[in-house]
Structure 1
Amino acid sequence: MSSDEDLFAQQMADVTPVEVKPRVDLKTGVGKSTPGEKRRRQAAVSSEEKPTDNYLTANHIPPVEPLAVLAFQREGVQHGVYRKLKRGNYELEATIDLHNMTVEQARVELFDFIHQCLEYDVRTALVTHGKGDRNLDNPGILKSCTALWLKEVTEVIAFHSAQPRHGGVGSVYVMLKKSKAAKEQNSKNYRPD
């Protein structure tokens, strides 16, 4: 009687190994950028002036508790679209971190960021504002400001506090209106012939 190894070798005698090709050609990915990276690079080196008509409220900000969930949806935003945003299921095309900024710095940076997103047809972004005071007794100042400011930008159609993997209640997903060019392209793509 033969051992298990002998029996296995006998059964496998006529088997030829399958040639395995690598799944990803790492050489072709080197130096290539995603569309989001290209837009951010263009925005960073753009010689155009930043918008100077910042209309975001500078004072009298209603306080928001540090652990509060931020949620906002303009009329007309489909519930399924909002639910997908809330779950963090959209690709984040741009991000900004407002940590360690003064209220005025954050006001200017967020205003510029939103307008750059609009300029480059960014639909979903992540704004990290933090929760506020570490002892959680005081309202989060930048969180409170962000909640108000995003509502003041008419092109912001919805926002919701992020999932834990993206910063939880210290960050917010933002959805922006589709640009006119993007709407026309979408219409062309889905127009019945």
Structure 2
Amino acid sequence: MQDNQQSDDFLQAMSDVTPIAQDNRVINLAPNTITLAQHLKRQALEKQQQQDGNYLSVEKVDPIDPHDFLDYKKDGVQEGVHKKLRLGQYQIDEILNLQMQPIETARHNLFETLMQSHRRGIRTLLIQHGLGLHSKPFPALLKSYVNQWLKQIPQVLAFHTAQKHHGGLAATYVLLKKSEQQRLINRERHQKR
């Protein structure tokens, strides 16, 4: 009986209350605004990319584990060529050490070195990026960017984690396309036969 009395009291107290109208809108409470500093930084980066022709992205990267093997080849690269690269059997013509460099500096140095190497006819490089076990905001930050950037460069035919004696998981072999000058030389050589 006491439960009925409490229920009646409650209903009497609520008799003049009207229900709130249903609103099915979703309110996103996550910050979706870009601060002025972030906006200015992005504008400066875009301007620099336009000036130096460096199209490598620093906006977003998919993190990889520091102990992951890097392995990539474009369509058309023969298995024998890829295997020889993977086993470190090509002569390394250039070594680029990116370890301990800020991301923006590493981005610039990687792009410039690969473009110059391609123009000079260099085919095989060794990129030293380190494991990045303690890098912030996540481990293997630079290694993750190198993995992403090398895929963005049209002159890169293939890349693979280096053999232990060349740095192992902390380094990557890179195979570049032949330059136009090298193609001409090959055409002339094959025409003489």
Query: Normalised by the size of structure 1, how large is the TM-score?
Result: 0.70
* Superposed displacement of residue 118, structure 1: 1.1
Is structure 2 residue 106 aligned with structure 1 residue 106?
yes
* Superposed displacement of residue 178, structure 1: 0.4
Aligned to 2:67: 67
Q: Which amino acid aligns with 1:123?
A: R
The correspondence of residues 80-159 of structure 1 with structure 2, limited to 5 A, is 80-134=80-134, 138-159=138-159
- SS of the residue corresponding to residue 61 of structure 2 reads coil
Q: Percent identity?
A: 36
- SS of the residue corresponding to residue 191 of structure 1 reads helix
Answer with 1 or 2: which has the greater Rg.
2
Larger helix share, 1 or 2: 2
Count matched residues: 141
* Superposed displacement of residue 191, structure 1: 3.0
Q: Which amino acid aligns with 2:142?
A: L
Q: Deviations over 1:74-121 (max 9, x none)?
A: 000010000000000000000100011011110011011111111111
* Superposed displacement of residue 139, structure 1: 2.8
Question: 1 CA distance for matches of 2:121 and 2:76?
Answer: 20
CA root-mean-square deviation? 1.5
Aligned to 1:189: 189
* Superposed displacement of residue 187, structure 1: 2.0
* Superposed displacement of residue 190, structure 1: 2.7
Q: Which amino acid aligns with 2:166?
A: H
Question: 1 CA distance for matches of 2:119 and 2:128?
Answer: 21
Q: Deviations over 1:11-56 (max 9, x none)?
A: xxxxxxxxxxxxxxxxxxxxxxxxxxxxxxxxxxxxxxxx811100
Q: Deviations over 1:132-187 (max 9, x none)?
A: 1159xx43011000000000001101000000010001000000000111012112
* Superposed displacement of residue 58, structure 1: 1.1
Moved over 2 A (4+): 190-193
Give structure 1 stretches of 5+ with no counterpart.
1-50
Give structure 2 stretches of 5+ with no counterpart.
1-50
Q: Which amino acid aligns with 1:120?
A: R
- SS of the residue corresponding to residue 125 of structure 1 reads strand
Query: Normalised by the size of structure 2, how large is the TM-score?
Result: 0.70
